[in-house]
Structure 1
């Protein structure tokens, strides 16, 4: 093929927490909605995102990029049926059938009221429109719940290798490269899928230490074999109650299915041998605050994983906040509370805010907490990522107010904001290093924002839709037996 390749790119990205309150609707995807070349290039050029990686990879290969629709929403509850259908129809119809191939950017744990395996459904519809011979490379989050249909209908699957996720740019470049080699008939990608039958909480998936690092390191060793094109280690997302939830592996080789299967089986054995080590220790909110105050220096991160915004939680849990009111050392917390922000903007900078904040999404995440303080700052909440996670990506907290309540500083936001980047604090004129205690509504991803300054970490055990104690949840759809809900995991191979 002498002419430049024409490569389409499109996708829908959402991590769906089926235990989270409320439904996710189409308008929640409008904040990150890009259609066509100009919009795609304007939004993502120069960013360390998957989309930025695709742009740079296309330029490196001298390929013409043909963007369709890409849309994303902050992790949240189940996607309602109407939104799910509208997004599928829009993405599938946006692909140019005359292109030579497609890079599909998705999460792997998206769920709609109609489709428990949303990514698999998207791929099936793409195959129906484009044909079985149309080359498709898919990128997935490390927390994807991979299904046999995903593996069956995508020629190449490339998942993130890091948690916190700081390699999405590199993985998109890798997927693009493998797609080009597939189109040019330089490789014949064949895949093996292995599911561990294990639900692993996000706190057990940090890729720089512990059992997850050991499994990931073995995957990298496998990739050193020239016959192995990619090994994707997916920790899974335990807060999506779907049949395929849990840790799984996809091994892609160059025309050697037996080798792919052997590698997947070995990784399953490794995970089973370490199943108990994926757990972590926790302290209750009162004990966690006491431990933080006892540390000789800060910042001490109180990782409130049960209200993990990146896992779909409402960002208004108050179990830890209630213990910080009146604290005598400098503490910082971010709370999503639209009503409180509206009141702060009504009052204005310098005025006294007095009211009950947080705890308004449902009873699981606590009751509203009474606070009183001076309104220090108000702004529109728009910023760009400045750290290693999706550098340059736009972010929007909605209207935002900073309220100083004695030693406790509150950042009140209209929109849920995951602490993936220090920009959410720096943008309001605050320096993380100035605080003894920082509440991070995150399991692990907070490290991309606060890791460089953190002196100590306490994992908080509190109620919430992202609790690390999975026995708090009632699962209806996940394939059983599954560890740790059951005594032993049941592995399965496929597709």
Structure 2
């Protein structure tokens, strides 16, 4: 048996400034068995899980193109076609099955459902008998077309996402069983008509999302059920299919799959009022953080969530931290400022306006003055529980010490998914009283082990926690919380 392996991964924030071009995908452009094995072997990534799963099954691997980019704005229509063609053309059509590493919330101009379009085009090329499996992020926006053109869809079970490896292994094993005709997977999709923010999708603490996950795991105990995926959705993609969804896969029993999917849909709807997130305005949030006696206190600036496509240069909190009473830390992406710090060198006095350069939504530049303490090339490898072994690149980076405030300036947007986010520049999280994280939940894989208190922040941004601030034009209505139906 031979299985073809490909990947196309991007979480698209249609409210984010700018466009995502094909160059953004070049840092994760891996094609062919040798390159794929070199990059992803012994990593706890989806790609590493695909490799290990296939090797465990003693199945031959045929690696096409895997490419991905950091979450960001809309992809141009032309670049989307280039990406789709490059990945699809790389598929080994003589293989016995296909496994694809997808996100589920990829959007381009004229293509609101890129994963659905990808699967449709693959199906058109390989025919109806070729088994196709795909892994999906928990923040996917699921379309009927995705379900129609795949045989198996397996979503992450955790947020923060620490099970990408395990879900890939699971998808591979289901695919191999399908190829061997041991099972005949059928999928049912059910959606309650709910749009929820990432901050309420936490799966490891008591709350409505965990209750849905627990029920999903119980359903999977049914011998006829192959997989249940609870998909939180991605509210920052203005597309018709955005929102909470449930996919139940059974062994040739569609009515059972639909019954279970509809049960989860009703459970979610009954809990809709509990999917509420409240946060503090910027100035109040900073004051609260400083009043807490024991740190580190994590200021969660979810509106500038890099993992959701934000520019990482919001200054709504920074402007209240320029002269903090206690040691504080913030990471700001500013190409000009980071390059200037590298130009003047360690020990030099740095004085400039930083951040707030992407658009007006994320604030105005803020003037800071401090000493350049550290310079770094920005490259590190994940050592934490999220995608262990994955490469990260902040670009040219610098630590500016301005009184009790430490600022990490980066040339490239990088999400705080791993301790290396600050360890790599010689800083320790436990040395700070207040830490600003440009993330919703995934920061816990980097700072959760030292966090003593969380202060959620409500500020403007393309990943804001108050969905009423967004002007949706493509979203299918009615949908909660805009329409209580």
What's the TM-score once normalised by structure 2's chain length?
A: 0.99
Aligned residue pairs: how many? Answer: 484
Unaligned runs of 5+ residues in structure 2 are none
Offset, 1:424: 1.0
| Deviation at residue 58 of structure 1 after TM alignment | 1.2
1:97 paired residue number: 93
Superposed counterparts of 1:225-240, under 5 Å: 225-240=222-237
Q: Is the 8 A contact 2:290 2:325 kept in 1?
A: no
State the superposition RMSD in angstroms: 0.6
1:275 matched to which residue of 2?
272
- 1:27-73 per-position Cα deviation (integer Å, ceiling 9, x unaligned): 00001110101110111011000000011111101111111000000
Cα displacement (A) at 1:426: 0.4
Q: What CA distance in whole angstroms lies between the structure 1 residues aligned with 2:225 and 2:11?
A: 29
Q: Quick one: which of 183, 188, 198 aligns to 1:187? A: 183
Contact 1:200 1:238 in 2 (8 A): yes
Question: Runs of 4 or more off by more than 6 Å in structure 1?
Answer: none
In structure 2, the partner of 1:130 is 126
Describe how 1:467-478 pairs up with structure 2 within 5 A.
Answer: 467-478=464-475
SS of 1:30's equivalent in the other structure is helix
CA distance in 2, matches of 1:411, 1:80: 31
Q: Which residue in the other structure is 2:338 paired with? A: 341
Q: Distance in 2 between matches of 1:448 and 1:114?
A: 35
1:293 aligns with 2:290: yes
1:419 aligns with 2:416: yes
Equivalent pair of 1:17/1:78 in contact (CA under 8 Å): yes
Deviations 1:114-172 (A, max 9, x none): 21000000001101111111110110000000000000010000000000000000000
In the TM superposition, what whole-angstrom CA distance separates every residue of 1:298-329 from its partner, at most 9, and x where no partner exists?
00000000000000000000000111110021
Partners of 1:51 and 1:125 in 2: how far apart?
A: 22
Question: Contact 2:322–2:368 at 8 Å: present in 1 too?
Answer: yes
Are the aligned partners of 1:340 and 1:355 in contact in 2 as well (CA < 8 Å)?
yes
Equivalent-residue separation in structure 1 for 2:325 and 2:289 (angstroms): 12
Q: Give 1:485 deviation, angstroms.
A: 1.5
Q: Distance in 1 between matches of 2:161 and 2:406?
A: 28
Whether 1:71 aligns to 2:67 is yes
Q: Which runs of 5+ in 1 are unaligned?
A: 489-495
> Counterpart of 1:215?
212
Q: Is the 8 A contact 1:335 1:410 kept in 2?
A: yes
| Pair 1:203 & 2:186 matched | no
**1:65-90 CA deviation, whole Å, 9 max, x = no partner?**
11100000000000111110001001
Shift of 1:255: 0.6
Matched-pair contact (CA < 8 Å) for 1:203–1:279: no
Q: Partner of 1:364: helix, strand, or coil?
A: helix
Which of 97, 105, 109 pairs up with 2:105? 109
